[in-house]
Amino acid sequence: MDATRCDEVLEFDRIRPEAKHLHEAHFLFRTLKLLYGDYLVTYPTHMSSYNILKRKSAAKAFELIGVELGFMFDVLFTKAMTGVGLRPRLFLRSINFLLSASALLAFWIMARNSKAYSEIDITISYLLLGGAIVLDIYSVIWMLLSDWTMLWLSKKREPLANSICQFIYSSRKGHNFRRWKEDVDGYLKELIFKRLLDMRSRYSCQDDQRIMILAERGDHALRSNECSEKFGWPY
């Protein structure tokens, strides 16, 4: 299966270009979940994953894996956009915001017509209720700008969904919404990626060969540079 056929089978050719990397990362994430569940990955799925990665540069491949790790982080830790669809979550967030705003309004009416509360208690209550509203607004904005929302909207064939998707993409100033604490040097990315592609190019479906490739250490580097007999291992 070549790259073009892979896009047709996975329907990536029908996805908006700016959101294609999200669908590729989500496909790799769903494949990874099979491995974590101790399921066998079928050969077409394996080849599809390989075709997605091999045609990318090292920087793009690392960026794609970063998006995939973001999906994994949400599923394992934040639970964002994983159990309920976008529309129900927006509805629940709206209800939560309306409740917080109603509580603030009710407290303002009660505090205005009553002298039973001290100024410091009223101030603290305003700060707490206002903070809850700010957090609700922030969570809605974060949800709308998330990869899950882009993934969901990019599947729609509606003009409104396309417009919203384009607006969100332009608001994010690039592909990735998350920013990781550490960055990897470009040369190191290239070195790691080339090494993985080299290992994959020598792989076949034989278990013995797979074990041998995974067990490679410095001996492969010596053999590939024709230095194994000159240096060898000290034993």
Asked if residue 153 lies in contact with residue 164, where contact means CB atoms within 8 angstroms, the answer is: yes
Would the pLDDT of 66 be above 50? yes
Asked if residue 27 has pLDDT above 80, the reply is yes
Integer Cα distance of 177 and 149 in angstroms: 11
What pLDDT is attached to residue 19?
Answer: 81
Q: Sort 52 into a burial class: Cβ within 10 Å, 0-12 / 13-18 / 19+.
A: buried
- Residue 184, both tokens: 């990897």
More confident residue, 209 or 155: 155
Model confidence at 121: pLDDT above 80:
yes
pLDDT at 222 over 60: yes
Q: Give percent above pLDDT 70 in the chain.
A: 80
Q: Which distant-in-sequence residues (6+ apart) come within 8 Å of 200 by Cβ?
A: 50, 54
Contact 107, 170 (CB under 8 A): no
pLDDT of residue 29: 92
Convert the pLDDT of each residue in 138-155 to its tens digit. Answer: 888 888 778 888 888 887
Does the pLDDT value for residue 235 go beyond 50? no
Regarding predicted confidence, which is higher, 211 or 32? 32
Is residue 189 left, alpha or beta, with left meaning phi > 0 and alpha meaning psi from -120 to 50? Answer: alpha
More confident residue, 86 or 113: 113
- Collect all residues with Cβ–Cβ distance below 8 Å to 57 and sequence separation of at least 6: 193
pTM, two decimals, is 0.72
pLDDT tops 70 at residue 234: no
Tell whether the model's pLDDT for residue 175 goes beyond 80: no
When the pLDDT of each residue in the chain is averaged and rounded to a whole number, the result is: 78
Residues 6 or more apart from 153 whose CB is under 8 A from it? 19, 86, 161, 164, 165, 168
- 22 versus 180: the higher-pLDDT residue is 22
Angle CA 223–224–227, to nearest 5: 50
Least confident of 18-32, 121-135, 202-216: 202-216
What is the pLDDT at residue 225?
73
Q: What is the mean pLDDT of residues 123-127?
A: 90
Alpha carbons 26 and 64: distance in angstroms, whole number:
9
- For range 32-50, the mean pLDDT: 83
**CA–CA gap between residue 144 and residue 169 (Å, rounded):** 10
Average pLDDT in the 93-109 region?
Answer: 88
